[in-house]
Amino acid sequence: MDGDVSRAIFLIEQQDKKNKDLPLRMFQSWYRASDKYDVPVTSLAIYTGTTKPINTYNKEWQGTSVNFIYNVYCVAEADEETLKRDDRLFALPVLAAKRMLDAGGKAEKREKYSLELLDLIQAWKLEAKKARSFQNFVYRILRIGEEDIDPKIKGVWKMQFRPIDDVVKDIYLRYAREEGIEEGMEKGMEKGKFEVARSMLAEGLSADIIKKCTGLNKQDILSIQ
């Protein structure tokens, strides 16, 4: 980009379906920002639907014409393997949106994709607050909270939304009171994890998923059965 980019404006608009007014809005936003701030301005339209993106605005009347070209990014055309390898934060929401398009409203596909995306979030090893923000974003993109989603899948998401220490907090405090503060601090947490694992097993969740949620090893989980 030409000019001093230390002071620049990036205009971004998201579009989920065909809208004939989008090119005009993109031009108007660009022109207003350029005129008001007198700095480099670039525009990006992100298409999250299946419509073919439009990247130009053309207008001509009585010898005066405008030909405005802006950047477009089409989620449907994004390469999935590239997104998985991309360590930039925008990659995961883009992948989630692409998966939602692929699911075509089918709950079973959204359930499968949601668990795969949880694994990717964990692999990034983000700090807890940021990881939960991404989980919440992906949760909403894939609409995991809707009625057609298996309650067991929702249960996994609820476990993943908070660190296991928070999930078993009440159990931990109860054991601490029962066994004495110092001894109960350590024992209570471990017993709390086993109680959570027992409940998840009763719901039919696999040992692999429970291991991810609780931090218990697979042998201990299977011994509960």
User: Which residue from 158, 122, 125 is spatially nearest to 139, judged by alpha carbons?
Assistant: 158
* Dist. CA 110–CA 103, nearest whole Å: 6
Give the pLDDT of residue 176: 60
Structure tokens at 212: 């991810």
Q: For residue 181, is pLDDT > 60?
A: no
State the pLDDT confidence band at 6, using cuts at 50, 70 and 90.
low
Give the CA distances from residue 212 to residues 19, 155, 157, 206, in Å, rounded to whole numbers and listed in that order.
43, 13, 11, 10
pTM: 0.60
DSSP notation for 61-86: ETTEEEEEE-EEEEGGGS-HHHHHH-
Residue 20 DSSP SS3: coil
Region 163-172: mean pLDDT is: 62
Report pLDDT digits (tens) over 108-162.
999 898 888 888 887 777 777 777 788 888 888 888 888 899 888 888 887 777 6
* Dist. CA 100–CA 112, nearest whole Å: 11
Are the beta carbons of 49 and 16 closer than 8 angstroms? yes
State the pLDDT confidence band at 2, using cuts at 50, 70 and 90.
very low
User: Which residue from 86, 125, 118, 126 is spatially nearest to 99, judged by alpha carbons?
Assistant: 118
